[in-house]
Each structure stands twice: as structure tokens, then as C-alpha cells.
Amino acid sequence: MKEFQGKTAIVTGAAQGMGREYVRLLAEAGANVVMADINADVARKSANEIGAHDQLLVVKTDVGSIDACNACARAATERFGGIDYLVNNAGILSAAAHRSLIAVEAETYLKIINIMTHGMLWMARAVFPSMKARGGGAIVNVSSIGAYQAAGLYSMAKLGVNGLTINLAHELAEHNIRVNAVAPGTVATEGMQPLMSVEQMAQWGRMGGRPTDRVAGPEEIARVGLFLLSDAASYVRGQIIAVDDGQQIRI
Ligand SMILES: NC(=O)c1ccc[n+]([C@@H]2O[C@H](COP(=O)([O-])OP(=O)(O)OC[C@H]3O[C@@H](n4cnc5c(N)ncnc54)[C@H](O)[C@@H]3O)[C@@H](O)[C@H]2O)c1
């Protein structure tokens, strides 16, 4: 019996990068997975590459839209009978370019915070009725070690994710729903390619205090997320787990 056999997960931002890796690992472990992404064409291409066709469903979803999040949860329930897990992974890496909170245009600011922070709440609200009806579940939010830096809009959006994680973890405990977050360091994904080369990511990590030059592959992050979803983490609640090769030291 595979670890996630008979369970259903929604992964947002599932078309590429870390999201796609969550999908691959969850499907490999027996789960049905809804691939929720604003870019449905790329998500379908990834689904075809992963295989496991009976277990995967692509639903075009903008996590910044409450209606779209609700429609995604409905589609998951209709196809697979309910929802056990949510990986709130969708994010906009280019938000890191907006270092000045004074200068960033209000429209851009609101759009990015709505997708990166509020979107995780909209999805959590959308899956809640099904998880509650199933007697429990688990949510992993994807934060960043950028949350602990004063680097502008991206940092602020991810610190919001940490706050959401802690508060939802407490609020949903009575429904047997665990909420945690992973905070990755630098990960080589499609989304990072136009922003930084792998060499630059290595340098950035060193400058930020990482004792190695290693840049993570998406699997190294997603495996920790899967642990947090799994029963092996049954007593882990409301934690923000840094997965950054020692870059962020917190005592
Ligand atoms: N790559 C890194 O170094 C790194 C480090 C720390 C945290 N993160 C976080 O990890 C998550 C995944 O990052 P990645 O590197 O895989 O990014 P990526 O850009 O490769 O993939 C992001 C995915 O999210 C989707 N997406 C964007 N806006 C969306 C929306 N409104 N609704 C639904 N889907 C949407 C994109 O289409 C894309 O498929 C993000 O939350 C990011 O902030 C990344």
C-alpha cells in the first residue's frame, strides 16, 4: 500500500517548478492530484510527462480569484470524492524585483499580495468543507527564507504566508487539519531561470550566510513538504520549516 493511496491533494502552481515536483511525488505515492495553475497548457504538458493519467486532473485556476479557488475545490470533489491535502505553492518570483514598498504601483502591490498571500487563504477556505467532512487533512504553504529579510514586496508577501500558517494552524486544529509551511532557500526552477543563473543563486546564498554553494533541486524541497503532509508529521503543527542548506540560522 502506497503512503498516499486513496487520498486526494490539490497543488497550486502545479504546472512547473516545485509545484510539478509535488505532483510527481504525490502521484508516485498513490495520491490523486489536482493540478491547479493559471497556465493550464503547461500544466497539461507536465501531466502528460508525469503519466499516472487516472490520478491527475488539471484545473485552470487563478488563486487570486475566490470563485476560481471554489471551482477548483468543487472539481476536485466531483472527480475524486473529496480533498485531504492542499499544497499552497503558487507564487510570483518576479515580485522580488519590487524592493521599494514606497515606489511599487498600488495596482501591482495589490495584485501580488492577493495572489501570493491572500490566494493561500482563498484556497484553504475552498478546501476546508471537504477536509472537515473527511474528518481532517493537512495543508502545506510555501513560504520562503525571503520572509526573514527586508527585501520589499516578496518578503512582505511571504511573511504574510507565515502569519497565515500560524493562525490557520491554530484555528483548524479542532477539525484535525494540520497547517505548516516550508521556507525554501534557492531552488533551481523554471521561474528562477530568467531572474538568476544557478551561479548567481549560489553566490546569493553564500552572501546570505549559507555555508555551502549548493542550490536545491525542486525535489529536495517537495520531499519535506510531503513529510509535513504525511502522518509521520502528525505532531507537527504551525511550523515554518526552512529548507535552505543552513542559510537561515534562527535560535
Ligand atoms: N525557486 C526558488 O528559489 C524559491 C525559493 C523560495 C520560495 N519559492 C516559492 O516557491 C513557490 C514555487 O516557486 P517556483 O520556483 O517553482 O516558481 P515557478 O515560477 O517555476 O512556478 C510557479 C507556478 O505558479 C503558477 N502561478 C503563478 N501565478 C498563479 C496564479 N495566480 N494562480 C495559479 N497559479 C499561478 C505559474 O503558472 C507557475 O506554474 C512560489 O511560491 C515561490 O515564491 C521559490
pLDDT digits (tens, 9 = 90+) for 181-226: 999 999 999 999 999 999 999 999 999 999 999 999 999 999 999 9
Residues 13-38: tens digit of each pLDDT: 999 999 999 999 999 999 999 999 99
The per-residue DSSP string of 201-240 comes to: HHHHHHHTT-SS---B-HHHHHHHHHHHHSGGGTT--S-E
The C-alpha atoms of residue 39 and residue 14 are separated, in whole angstroms, by 9
> What average pLDDT does range 118-142 have in this prediction?
99
pLDDT reading at 50 higher than 90: yes
Protein residue with least CA distance to atom 8, ligand 1: 144
Domain boundaries, the chain: 8-191+217-243
Q: List the beta bridge partners of residue 138.
A: 85, 178
User: pTM for the complete prediction?
Assistant: 0.98
Q: Which long-range contacts (CB under 8 A, 24 or more apart) does 66-70 make?
A: 66/122, 66/125, 66/126, 69/119, 69/122, 69/123, 69/125, 69/126, 70/126
Burial degree of 53 (CB within 10 A; 0-12, 13-18, 19+): exposed
Ligand 1 neighbours, Cβ below 6 Å, are: 12-13, 15-19, 37-39, 61-64, 89-93, 115, 142, 144, 184, 186-187, 189-192
Q: In 3D, which of 250, 234, 230, 237 has the Cα closest to residue 4?
A: 230
Of 85, 109, 154, 235, the catalytic one is: 154
The arrangement of secondary structure in 8-191+217-243, i.e. its CATH architecture, is 3-Layer(aba) Sandwich (3.40)
Q: Give the pLDDT mean for 89-110.
A: 98
Give the distance, in angstroms, between the CA of residue 69 and the centroid of all CA atoms in the same chain.
14
